[in-house]
Structure 1
Amino acid sequence: MSDQGTVQPWQWPEQEWRRLVGRVRAGRRLRPTRWRDGARFAVALAFDSDHETNELRDGGKSINRLAWGQYANRVGVPRILKLLEKYSVPASFYVPAVTALLYPAEQRQVVEAGHEIGVHGWIHELNSNLPRESELDLIARSMDQLEKVTGRRPTGFRSPSADFSENTLQILQELGFSYDSSLGADEDCYELESHGLPTGITEIPFDWVRDDAVYFLMHRFQGLRPYTPPSQVFDIFKRELDAAHQEGGLFELTMHPHIITNRSRIWIVEELIKYAKSLDGGVWFARHDEIADYVTRHSAE
C-alpha cells in the first residue's frame, strides 16, 4: 500500500495484512521419527563468531568493545574448540566476513576440526535496513569470502541479529543456500514458504530463549544490563534440552565466543554436553548442515 505510513494497522484491508504475514511462513514440518543411528533426539550447537563486528556494524569505535571482540579470538574460540574436541562434539560457527578477514587462521582451524562455518553477514549488518541489491551483494560476497578463507562453500545462513528482511529468503534461494537458522516459527525443523509456495530451504529454528546473549550481554554506554546467574541460565537450557529429549525432537542452542567462554560460564556448555550424553535413548550431536540434510531426507511427513 503506497499510503501505508498514514494508515493505521487496524485500517489495513485484509489483503494487506495477509500479504505481510505470507511473505515468509513455516511450511511442512521436517521431523524424523528417529535421528541418525537410532538416537532419540538431536543436539545442534551453534556459535556466532561476531567478534569485533558487534561494534563495527553500527559505526562504533570503542577500543574497549573492540578488545571484547578480540577476546573471542584469543580466548573464546580456542576454549570452545578444546571443549568440543574433549567430547567429540561437532558444531556450527556463523561467521561475518569481516571476522573471517580479521582471523582467517581461526576459521581454517574451525573447519579442520570438523566443524561447519555458515554465513553471518558481512559486518553483522541489519538486513532490514538494506535495499535488496545491497543485501544480495553483501551475502554473496560473504559467501565467497568464507569459501576463499576455508576452502569450503557455506550452505547455511544465519541473519545477523536474526534480522530477516523482505528480500532475505528470495536471496537465499538465488544464491543456492540449503538452509537458514534465523527464525522460530516452530521447535522442529520446517520448510520455508514464501507467499504460500515452498522454497526448498530448510529452517533450523532459532529462538532467543536458547541464546546466551539475552542473559549475559551488556552495553555500558546504553544502560543495557541483562544478567542472569550462570546457574539459572544452565537451568533454562537444561529444561529446553529435557523437553527435546522427551519429545524426540531437536535441541538447538546458540552461543557466542565472546559471551559464553568466561571462566564462570563455559561450564554450562560442558555440563549440557555431559548431561545430553547421559540420557536414555541416545543423542545425536550434529552440525546444522547435517541436521538440515537429515530432516530433509527423513521427515515423517
Structure 2
Amino acid sequence: MAKEILCGFGVDVDAVAGWLGSYGGEDSPDDISRGLFAGEVGSPRLVKLFERFGVKTTWFIPGHSIETFPEQMRMVAEAGHEIGIHGYTHENPIAMTREQETEVLDKCIDLVTKLSGKRPTGYVAPWWEFSNVTNELLLERGIKYDHSLMHNDFTPYYVRVGDSWTKIDYSGKPSDWMVPLKRGQETDLIEIPASWYLDDLPPMMFIKKAPNSHGFVNPRDIEEMWRDQFDWVYAEMDYGVFPFTIHPDVSGRPQVLKMLERLIEYINGHDGVR
C-alpha cells in the first residue's frame, strides 16, 4: 500500500477575540494590543511564509477577526487559503443556549461566505468545546467537517452524539455513579482530530490569568516533540492525517516562524506526504 500522510496547518486567528472570549484579557489594554499584533502583524507574516513554500492551509477565523482586520483577512482569502468558522468572539459553546449558539453560527457563516466567496465547510469550536447541539447545528448548515474533538489523533472519524457519562457524587452511594460511559450515535460530520500536543499556543503564549501559563518554552523543544510525532506516524501508518494548530498570536513571532520553516522543510523531505 502506498503511503499517504496528509499534513495540514489550521490557523486560528484568535487575535482580540481570544482575549475577549477565553483568555481573560478583556479588561487589559495590553492584552488587547497583543491581539492587534496577531491580526495586523502575525497574520501577514504567516501568509508570506506559506506563499514561500507553496503551502495552502485552512484559516479558522472568528467573525470578530474578520470584521476587525478586513485588510489582513482579505489577504488570506486572496492567497487561496480555505476559510473556516471559529465562533465570533471565541465564546464558549457550552456556556451558550441553543438560540445563542445558532445566532453566532449563522452570523459567522455569513461573514466567512462574504470573505471567501463560498460557504464554509469546516468548523473549529472555540476552546475546542462542543455543546450538546453543536453537531446538529453544523450539519443543518451544510458543514462537512470539524476539527475540535480528540477521540483519535491521526485517523479521521465520524463524530458521535449522545455520549453520556455519570459524574461522581460523594454525597450519594457509589453504586449510583459507578457506571460506564455510554456511547451515542455516529453522525455524518467528519472529525479531523485536534490535539493539544500539536498546538502552538499552550506552550508558547503567555497568559496572565492562566495558572499553568508558559510562553517562554524554546520552540526547538516543541519542534522536537512535533517531529517525533510525525516520525512515529510516518513509520507506523500508511494512511493518516497530521494536523497542526497554530495561531498568528504565537506563530507570527520570529522564533516560531523559523521553527515552522524547519518543520515544513523536514516534512517535505518525505515521500508519500502531502
* TM-score > 0.5 by shorter chain: yes
Residues 206-264 of structure 1: CA deviation (Å, up to 9, x unaligned): 01011011111222255543242111000011111112222132111001001122112
Instruction: Report the equivalent of 1:207.
Output: 195
Residues 135-214 of structure 1: matches in 2 within 5 Å? 135-187=101-153, 188-195=155-162, 196-214=184-202
SS at match of 1:283: coil
SS of residue in 2 equivalent to 1:264: helix
The gaps in structure 2 that reach 5 residues or longer are 163-183
Tell me which residue corresponds to 1:112: 78
- The one-character-per-residue Cα deviations of 1:21-70 (angstroms, maximum 9, x if unpaired) are xxxxxxxxxxxx65xxxx63110111100110112225813111111111
Partner of 1:240: 229
Q: Structure 1 stretches (4+) deviating beyond 6 angstroms?
A: none
Within a 5 Å distance, the mapping from 1:62-141 to structure 2 comes to 62-141=28-107
Aligned residues: 247
What do residues 67-88 of structure 1 show as CA deviations (whole Å, max 9, x unaligned)?
Answer: 1111112221111111111111
Work out the CA distance in 2 between the residues paired with 1:197 and 1:128.
Answer: 20
| Residues 138-194 of structure 1 deviation map (CA, whole Å, 9 limit, x = unaligned) | 111111111123322111000001011111111111111000000011120011122
What pairs with 1:266-281 in structure 2 (closer than 5 Å)?
266-279=257-270, 281=271
**CA distance in structure 2 between the aligned counterparts of 1:252 and 1:222, rounded to whole angstroms:** 25
Give the % identical residues.
Answer: 30
Residue 42 (1) aligns with residue 9 (2): no
Aligned match of 1:18: none
Q: Distance in 1 between matches of 2:146 and 2:4?
A: 24
Q: Secondary structure at the match of 2:159?
A: strand
- Higher deviation after alignment, 117-126 or 40-49: 40-49
What TM-score do you get using the length of structure 2 for normalisation? 0.85
